[in-house]
Amino acid sequence: MSLAPPAPHRAEIEHLVRRALYENLGQPMPRTVRAPNPLLVNVSARHCHLTPQAVETLFGKGRTLTPMKWLYQKDQYAAKESVTLIGPRSRVISNLRILGPCRDLNQIELAFTDAISLGFEIPVRNSGNIKDTPGCMLMGPAGFLELPVGVIRAAPHVHMHPDDAAFYRVKNGDYMKLRVGGACGVTFDRMFVRVSPDFKLEVHIDTDEANACGLSPVTPCELIK
């Protein structure tokens, strides 16, 4: 049975309702409501991206990824399949989730504390920039895969549609700031901007970064040019 298509996110529905209320009341809309889309700040836990060839090596010839849960970005999903990562000195992380669909390179994204527990020294990189990064071994039910490179700590970044980029007056490859409120409020100064017609407005930070600022679903967040 195929996975049902994702329903509209609660934040999208709430954004439309707030806009309609302000318009019906004839009141000026705050900047967050004037924005074309709601801002979501999501926590990206450790995971990996694999090529079709890597999936076959690890899970068997002809095997493909099976969607388990749709993610916020269009056509992106967490797969049912996971692997075991073997790092230096044979330290391991079990059940490392694979995100689909497959890509044209193999990339493992870990948080800083993950790297410490494995004995890695990993650089902060934008997705796809894996030159001169550490490698590792992945183990699946059908085999092993030795990766010479590909282990990174993903740089904080924001996905946005061109309409969002026009609203915030930024372009692909720029940097923004993310101001996080709450009791442990912080400001991330280097939020890499990625713009595509296929993207929805979403910030990705890792588990360490989210824990450091006490991020929760109700924490106020704001993007600043």
Element (H, E) at 192: strand 186-195
Question: What is the average pLDDT value for the chain, to the nearest integer?
Answer: 95
Least confident of 8-12, 63-67, 81-85: 8-12
Q: Is 76's pLDDT higher than 60?
A: yes
Per-residue confidence (pLDDT) for residue 218, from 0 to 100? 92
Q: How would residue 2 be classed by pLDDT, with cut points 50, 70 and 90?
A: low
Q: Reduced to 3 states, what is the DSSP secondary structure of residue 222? A: strand
CB 92 within 8 A of CB 86: yes
Residue type, 59: F
CB 194 within 8 A of CB 160: yes
